[in-house]
Structure 1
Amino acid sequence: MITGTRQPDSPGRLSRRLSRRQRLTSRLQFERTYAQQRRFVGRFMVLWCYTGEDAALRLGVVASRRIGPAVIRNRAKRRLREAFRLNRHGFQGHMDVVLVARPAAIKAEWGDLVQELNRLAAQAGLKTDRR
């Protein structure tokens, strides 16, 4: 019998979402990440990272109004979030990561987007290999 309640973190069930613990949720967390000024620039995104005592492998995604209307910004954020989620298993270390979408991220081929994320993550020290 299927009920209306969902338990995404229950054992044996693979959650497809990033849990609240895996996301940056407050303005302070984003500002702290920007303040450390560790950024890695690519064609489709800018990866900012924060390393500190309270850092974990958490993600925040930003798309400015310069990219376009809300529908386009949300699409860009969804693509970056999904690329991170699918490749998260290859990342290590305790860093808070903010991905800032650039206009080219909207029309980028999926493989190119993932490849750039992995390249920037390797530069930031999140990945040991560049695959």
Structure 2
Amino acid sequence: MPDPFHRESDGSIDSSPPNSGLDRSLNKSKRLTRSSLFAETFSGKKKRVGRFMVLWLREADDADFRIGTVSSKKVHLRANRRNFARRRMREAWRHLRPYCSGQADVVFVARRAILSADWNTVISEMLNLIQKAGLISPGNAERARTELEASNGWKLH
């Protein structure tokens, strides 16, 4: 009888994602988790508004370029659709974060249009918002645009 925990592969197949040298992880240390930090971010009133999301900045001494995502029932009444909106924003941030610099925490608030938006448009808007907020230099923004288009086949506007 075969061992259920034995892999048939000889170990020569590496299924891990390719390493591009950029840290694209979003572990707990790179996310805002405390509600007090969200409240502090919203009270700062530093925001940039886009069609699919709103970017809020929290500039403080303890800011460490963490991300928070919010989607309210204004986005959709069903929780799975709100979760989808938050996942889209986190995934876009995961690709753009390595090109950013600065000392700020970022909160993205989803808008209803993100649910039906094309992925290329969502990531392009996030890139434009973080550029307007001063979190990415124009050179790095162009580098991010070209590298993401080349590696993923996306057409960013």
TM-score after normalising by structure 2:
0.72
AA paired with 1:96? Answer: D
Where do 1:1-16 residues align within 5 Å?
none
Higher relative contact order, chain-length normalized (CA < 8 Å, sep 6+): 1
Moved over 2 A (4+): 14-17
Residue in 2 that maps onto 1:99: 108
Q: CA offsets per residue over residues 13-68 of structure 1, 9 Å max, x none?
A: x8764111100000001001111100000000000001110111100000001111
Residue in 1 that maps onto 2:35: 27
Q: CA deviation at 1:124?
A: 0.8
Q: Distance in 2 between matches of 1:41 and 1:79?
A: 17
Q: Distance in 2 between matches of 1:16 and 1:51?
A: 22
Q: Distance in 1 between matches of 2:29 and 2:108?
A: 17
Q: CA offsets per residue over residues 70-126 of structure 1, 9 Å max, x none?
A: 010000000000000011111111111000000000111111001100100011111
TM-score after normalising by structure 1:
0.86
AA paired with 1:94? Answer: Q
8 Å Cα contact 2:24-2:98 kept in structure 1: no
Residue in 2 that maps onto 1:86: 95
- The count of residues paired between Structure 1 and Structure 2 equals 121
Give the alignment partner of residue 26 of structure 2, picking from 8, 18, 21.
18
2:78 matches 1:65: no
Q: Distance in 2 between matches of 1:28 and 1:125?
A: 24
Residue in 2 that maps onto 1:120: 129
AA paired with 1:60? Answer: G
Give 5+ residue unaligned stretches, structure 1: 3-13
AA paired with 1:42? Answer: G
